[in-house]
Structure 1
Amino acid sequence: MNKRVTKIELFKQAMNFSAGHFTIYSESERENLHGHNFYVHAIFEAELMENGITFNYCIYKKIILDICQFLDESVLLPLKSPHLRIEESDEYIYAFFNSDKEKIPFLKRDVKLLPVRNTTVEELSHWFLEQLLVHVEENPEHLIQAIEVKMSFGYGQSGSSYWSKE
């Protein structure tokens, strides 16, 4: 019998987080700081096992929920932006923008520094995907062949990232 591949989609109501951010357009242009409710939708392609299931996808639901909780109620700042410089003091994180003309202070407890170039749905979906891939690589028995992670912050506005074993 040929192997069967199926898709498992995870997009529970609780798979979301609220976060502040600003998109950086260029060396001197950025959005004002604002916030969104971000929603996560993950699609896994995996081989169907003889017992009629793919893998215990509760594991990945928990991972997604944990990441959402980690990001919730924070300001997201990109560590890899060529246009933003980050400095930390005892209590504060400072974001310097526009050739250091703008010095934006944040309390450390309110900020999540992410290894992304920008805090857009495109970059956040890729970062989320990378977090899931750590667990996929640690559990090859799950037979996951592809993953797509979609991030949205409102109807009709989303970005997604895709990984495939091939």
Structure 2
Amino acid sequence: MSDSRYKVRVSKDYLVFCSGHFITYLGDQCERIHGHNYRVAVEVEDDLDQNHYVFDFIALKDLTHAITDELDHRMLLPTESTQILLEDDGPNWRVRYQDRYWSFPRNECALLPIANTTAELLANYIAGRLREALTSRGLALPRVMRVEVEESFGQSAEVEWRK
């Protein structure tokens, strides 16, 4: 057995999503609605397989791209927030924060099972979706997976998951 460690990373121009969001912070404050041109990078570490790969680049790019496509040109809304409340309003989602509210067409929203639409939790959401996609396709989970979400140049968050 070698002491070498192997990892692969994908960070392509099409692993992006342009979305609107707002977050709550300090317990009693809420940002204005704004958007980002998010970029996603995924890195996995593991031993080499029988093909001498850590992981197939094409599969990793395709799986990640499918997730970023679902988020692209959507309003990102957290379903697990205790401060941002979602209400069914017919063809729209009515979104409330204290005395403020907004109405968004359902098909223009991405409802995410997270507490806040921070870059950190978006990275964790994407990592979870990637693990689900790998498992559902019968692919082995890598020993380590890192997902980075950059919300603007020089400003990103990363999550690391270990098997």
Instruction: Compute the TM-score of the two structures, normalised by the length of structure 2.
Output: 0.91
When residues 48 and 83 of structure 1 are mapped into structure 2, their CA distance, relative to the original with a 3 A threshold, is same
- Once the 2 structures are TM-superposed, how far is the Cα of residue 144 of structure 1 from its aligned partner? 1.4
Partner of 1:66: 66
Identity of aligned residues (%): 27
Q: Write the deviation string for residues 43-88 of structure 1: whole angstroms up to 9, x where unpaired.
A: 0002112432223231121111111111100100101111011011
- 1:37-76 alignment, distance < 5 Å: 37-76=37-76
When residues 141 and 92 of structure 1 are mapped into structure 2, their CA distance, relative to the original with a 3 A threshold, is closer
- 1:81-160 alignment, distance < 5 Å: 81-98=81-98, 101-138=99-136, 142=140, 144-160=142-158
> What is the aligned residue count?
163
When residues 139 and 110 of structure 1 are mapped into structure 2, their CA distance, relative to the original with a 3 A threshold, is closer
- Taking the aligned partners of 1:88 and 1:141, their CA distance within structure 2 comes to 37
Partner of 1:12: 12
- Taking the aligned partners of 2:136 and 2:111, their CA distance within structure 1 comes to 25
Unaligned runs of 5+ in 1: none
Q: Is the 8 A contact 2:44 2:55 kept in 1?
A: no
- Taking the aligned partners of 1:118 and 1:111, their CA distance within structure 2 comes to 15
When residues 141 and 16 of structure 1 are mapped into structure 2, their CA distance, relative to the original with a 3 A threshold, is closer
When residues 92 and 143 of structure 1 are mapped into structure 2, their CA distance, relative to the original with a 3 A threshold, is closer
Q: Is the 8 A contact 2:23 2:117 kept in 1?
A: yes
When residues 6 and 143 of structure 1 are mapped into structure 2, their CA distance, relative to the original with a 3 A threshold, is farther
When residues 142 and 56 of structure 1 are mapped into structure 2, their CA distance, relative to the original with a 3 A threshold, is farther
- Taking the aligned partners of 2:132 and 2:141, their CA distance within structure 1 comes to 14
- Counterpart of 2:155, as a letter, is Q
What secondary structure sits across from 1:118 in the alignment? coil
- Once the 2 structures are TM-superposed, how far is the Cα of residue 5 of structure 1 from its aligned partner? 3.6
Instruction: Compute the TM-score of the two structures, normalised by the length of structure 1.
Output: 0.90
Q: Is the 8 A contact 1:3 1:47 kept in 2?
A: no
Root-mean-square deviation over aligned CA pairs: 1.9
